[in-house]
Structure 1
Amino acid sequence: MITQGMVALVNYSIHLTPGLLLFGAWFALTPRSMTAIRILILLAAFVLMRDAMTPLRMWALSDDVQIAFTANTFVLAALGGLSLLLVAGLAWVAPDLSRLVVWSKGNCAVGLARGLAVGCLIGVPLRLYQGVDTQAIHDYWVWLPGMVVLAYGANALEEVLFRGYLQGYLEQQLTPLRAALISGVAFAACHAFLALSVTQLGWPVLLFTLIEGLACALLRMRHGVLAATLAHGTAILLIAVPLVA
């Protein structure tokens, strides 16, 4: 499993390298004073990293918004861990952007509880609709720990970008509510290429991501990025299954 996982990760890295080098050069050449452009560069680079997984069969979407991730738990855990390293790396490379991230507001425990509840409200109905029977899925419980790392690690990176950098920047220019609405809509819009071109699944993906994006944005407005990350990760975890080769 580890050997196969390393091969998959190396293939993914080779696939991404040309594009990421260009995004990195673009980011490095953009003055720090151009905050909005730098945030958009990072968002575009993230979309590339996410959507490139589809043709490589690291994940797949169905028309009922069920997400299947590779059955290799090593790959899942590695991608989740690397996402957290990227969060730390961005804090070092772009400390000005990291100052925009509001991790927690008000009572942290209440925020986390609401984040978990919102994640369940999004994910549980879809899980029931999809009729997922974990007992019928081979090695589901072996796969699950790696999926937990990916669900919360990768979505921590996504939430830092959308709810930390973008929403944090917008709150300096607009009211918190309008900043949250833009963040939520932007999140869904950044799934348009995935929904309409990469997978051609269309409006179900866009509707799901719009609901999820707005919910996480409103959580960020009230409770901070940690609560939004918990909601996002929980929702994805609940609708995820192992990808059948």
Structure 2
Amino acid sequence: MKGADLYDDPDFLAGYQRLRREGLGLNDELEIPAMAALLPPAAGLRVLDLGCGEGGLAQRLAVGGAVGVLAVDASAAMLATAVRHPRIRYRQSDLATLELTPESFDLAVSSLVLHYLEDFDGLVGRISRWLAPGGRFVFSVEHPVVTAPLEAADGRLDDYADEGPRQRKWFVDEVTKYHRTVSSMVGTLRRHRFQLAAVEEPQPSEEQVRRKPHLSIHRRRPPLLLISAGLQS
């Protein structure tokens, strides 16, 4: 099942919403704090949120003073329950075909979405056109050491050099993710005039593991990769 359809599948959506409701994912403990640390101050910025889901990141940026947030997601089900804010506009669109006005944003963000996208190079190229000179792109993905194995094997690094689709069971069978190496992602950003500002691999502290033992696997290898890059003039 591809990313554009995934969150509209009722079985997947129920599992995902239960995960978030019960705090069993990585979002609250790792991804949200790590993303916040990389983001520039939102005040006065025009923001594009790619794969916004239920709008949590878009809301935080709007509350932080963004003059406007265009929040895009392919899932009608996710957008139906998205948080509302006067400075957030929601749009239903597949990121693979999204087209926007050049130089209309100062900041593009994406939270745990781009590992579902087949054409990373194509999207990064479009983002470089949508951002104004000096704009920033900040995103998180599932870490390549996790996506790498052709056969799911948590805690074992394998097949790292072989980029491409991977089939995983996550609430439903045959969820399609796309594995890319770190160097491949960095190279793509550089080709499209982005300069690396930060690379982060957040992992839980020992205290977090004591509070939430299900996080212990993530002490063995990093579950997430976050990158911040600025668009060169």
TM (normalized to structure 2)?
0.32
Say which structure is richer in helix: 1
Greater RCO (CA < 8 Å, at least 6 residues apart): 1
TM (normalized to structure 1)?
0.30
